[in-house]
Amino acid sequence: MSQNSDPMHALMTYTSSRAFLVWSLLIVFLFATSPSLHAVESGEYIRIAKAGERRIPLVLRGLDHKRSKDARYADGTDAIIRNGLEYTGMFAILGSPMNLFTGGTMFDPERRRVNMASLGSVGAELYAGGVLERDGGDVVLHMEVYDVLSGRRLLGKSYRGDRKKLREPAHEFCADLVELLTGKPSVFRSRIAYVGLNGGQKEIYMAAFDGFGAEQVTRTGGLAMTPSLSGDSSRLAYLAYIEGFPELHIMDMKQGDIVPVRKKGVKIDPAWRNGSSECATTFSFDGDQEIYLVRSDGSISRRLTRARGIDVSPSFSPDGRLMAFVSSRHGVPQVFIKDLLTGKERRLTFNGRYNTQPSWSPAGDKIAYTSMQKNGEINIFTINADGTGLRQLTYRARHNEAPSWSPDGSMIMFSSSREGQKKLYVMNADGRNQRSLNLPGQQMQPSWSLYK
Amino acid sequence: MDMKKHLLGMCVLPSVLFVAGCSCCDDAVAPQAAPAPAPAPVVEAPVAAAQIADVFYAFDSSALDPMSEAQLKENARWMLENPDATIVIEGHCDERGTNEYNIALGERRADSASNYLVNLGVDPSRIQTVSYGEERPFDPGQDEEAWAKNRRAHFVLQ
């Protein structure tokens, strides 16, 4: 790690006065979040990400740090950033070449000069690195991102966080980097709800997008299932068996209050309607199983289906106008789409005899669903909302169920029994890069949502 | 729930004993057969032994086959003979298919059994139904033998 200038100067730059630090952070922040910069810089990269049948080759340099006793914070942060960026499936992370810096101030990302020729020689298109320093109980990450071909700096920003919560500043950086490239909210600002099976009991848990920090949120003492987070994660709707009978619960995630809906008969698989504070779910109090819209106070807003047979598992288009759902009106379960404005319904799936669990993509163009096949496997497919473009995403891997899109539409989370027990998995939206979250125990029925 | 299952067990038990006793009588050895009064209970017992038992379904179906209908007639007879009894009919599914759809299917199974009893004169206020979908299998196995056992309407005495 060679350096060509006075390290004291670098130290002075960051620590001489608190006021100066605040001002410099503010300036860097304004620079990094300037809309015009985003518009110009991200435009170029959105093309790359979309063309992205391939991963973006990224040199991710471990965080430089001046004091050796900060090594553990730097190493910890490095691992979080690396795992986080790998989780997105967007990057091919390359090793850092020698001679990365050609001069400037080593511990000052504002002033050190990055060697684009060296980066280009290992095939990198992006470079990300930075300097970690400790400030009392906090760590500050001074991060830099360069476009190797043009040599332009795409991002220069500092992130401060509690040294015991390194995930927060590290993921703030990851979020900024990915959002710069895609122009969409990244997974790093999202959470998941899912069903955990422990000791024969199913309860609902919530965790960060990668399963970290899981917390049990229901305590029914037996059976809770089909969680659905509202678009802003303010409410959680789910099915709970209380004293042997099913109830629809709508939980306020801030207050923890629960509104129970105890109508006669089933309550199945609620889903929030985008752009409203209502969720749709199946009730059977009127004799047949039909889908209804329910307000967050538990009252019924209106009935949406009127066909004899099973109608379940609603999922809405991003504008909330169209609803995909499962119906057995023709004998076997198939996915249908209803236009809530005109009332018109049409059948979406024609391949296979058991198609369930539709999940509408955040971009609105695709619907993921599962199909049980003749060999007994359940596999995940995507299909365009107009019925074209059928694509199978999982193969020869037992039961793959309950697809749920990431808020930016780049990934799909699902449960799979491919290794025996049911576990949560993620894959890119095109089916590549399938891997387990490796959570302990068994999990199923993920629901992925933004939380900010 | 365990207690309810016990109650059901007590209900089924006498008929099991009866069947066992019957085969014992058929046995050629029958060394300790009772003296003269023995035949009388054998004639009466089938009438008294009307009993409730579960009914089973084909995959992705809530239709009743003739065997299920015969059992439901027996169940209805028991309900009419025991007018104070109330029951819960639980609809269950095998592990194939998906959980949400199976909750709906399980309810249709419980309802098909309940409707059959009501049509035979059982007061609907004595019957509750609930679906557990594939969440409470009776046999955890992963073959047709296990699945067939799990596709059922399960009768629980209250």
Q: Which of A310, A313, A372 sits opposite B96 (nearest CB)?
A: A372
Decide the pairing of beta strands A153-162 and A138-147: antiparallel
Q: Nearest C-alpha of chain B: how many angstroms from A253? A: 23
Q: Give me the residues paired with residue B46 across strands.
A: none
User: Which candidate in B61, B90, B99 is best for mutational testing of the A interface (most A CBs within 10 A)?
Assistant: B99
Claim to verify: residue A309 and residue A358 sit in the same structural domain: yes
Q: Nearest C-alpha of chain B: how many angstroms from A245? A: 6
Claim to verify: residue A156 and residue A204 sit in the same structural domain: no
Claim to verify: residue B85 and residue B103 sit in the same structural domain: yes
- Residue A1 in domain: no
- Is the Cβ pair B131, A266 closer than 8 Å? yes
Claim to verify: residue B40 and residue B88 sit in the same structural domain: no
Name A391's Cβ contacts closer than 8 Å, sequence gap at least 6: A381, A382, A383, A430, A431
Question: Can you say whether the dihedral through the CA atoms of A350, A352, A355, A359 is positive or negative?
Answer: negative
Question: Strand ranges (DSSP E) for chain B?
Answer: 55-56, 87-92, 127-133, 152-157
- Is the Cβ pair B107, A284 closer than 8 Å? yes
The CATH number given to whatever domain includes residue A235 is: 2.120.10.30
Looking at A205-324, list the stretches that DSSP marks H as alpha helix, in order from N- to C-terminal side.
none
Q: Nearest C-alpha of chain A: how many angstroms from B130? A: 6
- Is the Cβ pair A444, B99 closer than 8 Å? yes
Q: What share of chain A is helix, strand, coil (3-state, %, to 5)?
A: 20, 40, 40
Domain total of chain B: 2
Q: Which residues of chain B are within 8 Å of residue A332 when distances are taken between CB atoms?
A: 60
Q: How far apart are CA B42 and CA A278, in angstroms?
A: 63
- Residue A399 in domain: yes
Q: How far apart are CA A100 and CA B130, in angstroms?
A: 67
Q: Give the pLDDT of residue A106.
A: 80
Summarize pLDDT for B70-121 with one digit per residue, the tens. Answer: 999 999 999 999 999 999 999 999 999 999 999 999 999 999 999 999 999 9
> Cβ atoms within 10 A of the Cβ of A156, count?
18
Claim to verify: residue A92 and residue A130 sit in the same structural domain: yes
Q: Which of A244, A376, A378 sits opposite B98 (nearest CB)?
A: A378
Residue in chain B nearest A289 by alpha carbon:
B104
Claim to verify: residue B41 and residue B69 sit in the same structural domain: no
Q: Nearest C-alpha of chain A: how many angstroms from B88? A: 10
- Is the Cβ pair A326, B99 closer than 8 Å? no
The CATH number given to whatever domain includes residue A175 is: 3.40.50.10070
- Residue A2 in domain: no
CA angle A267, A270, A271 (to 5 degrees): 165
Claim to verify: residue B121 and residue B60 sit in the same structural domain: yes
Claim to verify: residue A37 and residue A142 sit in the same structural domain: yes
Summarize pLDDT for B14-57 with one digit per residue, the tens. Answer: 343 333 333 333 333 334 444 444 444 444 444 556 789 999 99
**Beta carbons of A238 and A225 less than 8 angstroms apart:** yes
Q: Tell how far CA B158 is from the center of its chain.
A: 14
**If you search the block for the tokens 């066992």, which residue do you land on?**
B20
DSSP characters over A83-124? HHHHHHT-EEEEPPPS--EEES-TT-TTTPEE-HHHHHHTT-
Claim to verify: residue B8 and residue B76 sit in the same structural domain: no
**Beta carbons of A295 and A314 less than 8 angstroms apart:** no
Query: Cα dist. B129→A62, A67, A285, A420, B87 in Å?
Result: 61, 68, 12, 33, 8
- Is the Cβ pair B99, A225 closer than 8 Å? yes
Q: Residue B96: left (phi > 0), alpha (psi -120 to 50), or beta?
A: beta
The CATH number given to whatever domain includes residue B111 is: 3.30.1330.60
- Chain B residues with CB under 8 Å of a chain A CB are 1, 60, 88, 96-101, 103-105, 107-108, 129-132, 135
- What global pTM score does this model have? 0.83
Claim to verify: residue B92 and residue B105 sit in the same structural domain: yes
- Is the Cβ pair A312, B88 closer than 8 Å? no
**Beta carbons of A182 and A162 less than 8 angstroms apart:** no
Claim to verify: residue A304 and residue A174 sit in the same structural domain: no
Query: Which two structure tokens, joined as six digits, stand for B75?
Result: 């169940």
Summarize pLDDT for B101-115 with one digit per residue, the tens. Answer: 999 999 999 999 999
Decide the pairing of beta strands A421-428 and A435-436: antiparallel
- Is the Cβ pair A225, B1 closer than 8 Å? no
Summarize pLDDT for B130-157 with one digit per residue, the tens. Answer: 999 999 999 999 899 999 999 999 999 9
What number of C-beta contacts closer than 8 Å exist between A and B?
66
Question: Strand ranges (DSSP E) for A136-222?
Answer: 138-147, 153-162, 190-198, 201-208, 215-216
**If you search the block for the tokens 């694509």, which residue do you land on?**
A391
Q: Which residues span the domain enclosing B40? A: 1-27+34-49
Q: Which residues span the domain enclosing A118? A: 7-182
Q: Tell how far CA A260 is from the center of its chain.
A: 28
Claim to verify: residue A159 and residue A292 sit in the same structural domain: no
Q: How far apart are CA A100 and CA A94, in angstroms?
A: 13
Q: How far apart are CA B99 and CA A223, in angstroms?
A: 12
Question: Can you say whether the dihedral through the CA atoms of B140, B146, B151, B155 is positive or negative?
Answer: negative
Among A182, A197, A224, the domain boundary falls at A182
Q: Which residues of chain A are within 8 Å of residue B143 when distances are taken between CB atoms?
A: none
**Beta carbons of A449 and A191 less than 8 angstroms apart:** yes
CA angle B7, B12, B13 (to 5 degrees): 95
- Residue A160 in domain: yes
Q: Nearest C-alpha of chain A: how many angstroms from B104? A: 6
**Beta carbons of B157 and B4 less than 8 angstroms apart:** yes
Decide the pairing of beta strands A126-135 and A56-60: parallel
- Is the Cβ pair A356, B97 closer than 8 Å? yes
- Is the Cβ pair B101, A310 closer than 8 Å? yes
Residue in chain B nearest A335 by alpha carbon:
B101
Tens-digit pLDDT profile for chain A (452 aa)?
434 444 434 333 333 344 444 444 444 444 443 333 333 344 445 434 444 458 999 999 999 999 999 999 999 999 999 999 999 999 999 988 988 998 877 888 888 899 999 999 999 999 999 999 999 999 999 999 999 999 999 999 999 999 999 999 999 999 999 999 988 889 999 999 999 999 899 999 999 999 999 999 999 988 999 999 998 889 999 999 999 999 999 999 999 999 999 999 999 999 999 989 999 999 999 999 999 999 999 999 999 999 999 999 999 999 999 999 999 999 999 999 999 999 999 999 999 999 999 999 999 999 999 999 999 999 999 999 999 999 999 998 999 999 999 998 999 999 999 999 999 999 999 999 999 999 999 999 999 987 64
Question: For residue A363, which amino acid is it?
Answer: A
Q: How far apart are CA A142 and CA A343, in angstroms?
A: 54
Q: Which of B100, B105, B108 sits opposite A269 (nearest CB)?
A: B100
Q: Which residues of chain A are within 8 Å of residue B60 when distances are taken between CB atoms?
A: 332-333, 354
Q: How far apart are CA A282 and CA A303, in angstroms?
A: 10
Q: What angle do the packed helices A167-182 and A35-51 form, to 10 degrees?
A: 80
Claim to verify: residue A227 and residue A156 sit in the same structural domain: no
Claim to verify: residue A101 and residue A139 sit in the same structural domain: yes
- Long-range contact list for A26-35, CB < 8 A, 24+ apart? A28/A110, A28/A156, A28/A157, A28/A158, A29/A157, A29/A158, A31/A156, A31/A157, A32/A155, A32/A156, A32/A157, A32/A176, A33/A157
Domain total of chain A: 2
**Beta carbons of A323 and A316 less than 8 angstroms apart:** yes
Q: Give the pLDDT of residue A15.
A: 37
Claim to verify: residue B68 and residue B111 sit in the same structural domain: yes
- Is the Cβ pair B98, A370 closer than 8 Å? yes
- Residue A403 in domain: yes
Q: Which of B60, B98, B108 sits opposite A401 (nearest CB)?
A: B98
What is the 8-class DSSP label of residue B30? Answer: -
Claim to verify: residue A216 and residue A127 sit in the same structural domain: no
Q: Which residues of chain A are within 8 Å of residue B132 when distances are taken between CB atoms?
A: 223, 241
- Residue A365 in domain: yes
Q: Nearest C-alpha of chain B: how many angstroms from A358? A: 11
Q: Nearest C-alpha of chain B: how many angstroms from A278? A: 20
Residue among A56, A27, A51 nearest A147 (CA): A56
**Beta carbons of B142 and B87 less than 8 angstroms apart:** no
Q: Which residues of chain B are within 8 Å of residue A331 when distances are taken between CB atoms?
A: none
Q: Which of A244, A245, A312 sits opposite B100 (nearest CB)?
A: A312
Q: Nearest C-alpha of chain B: how many angstroms from A395? A: 17
Residue B4 in this model has a pLDDT that exceeds 90: no
Q: How far apart are CA A315 and CA A329, in angstroms?
A: 18
**If you search the block for the tokens 């810096």, which residue do you land on?**
A101
Query: Cα dist. A285→A288, A313, A338 in Å?
Result: 7, 17, 22
> Cβ atoms within 10 A of the Cβ of A349, count?
23
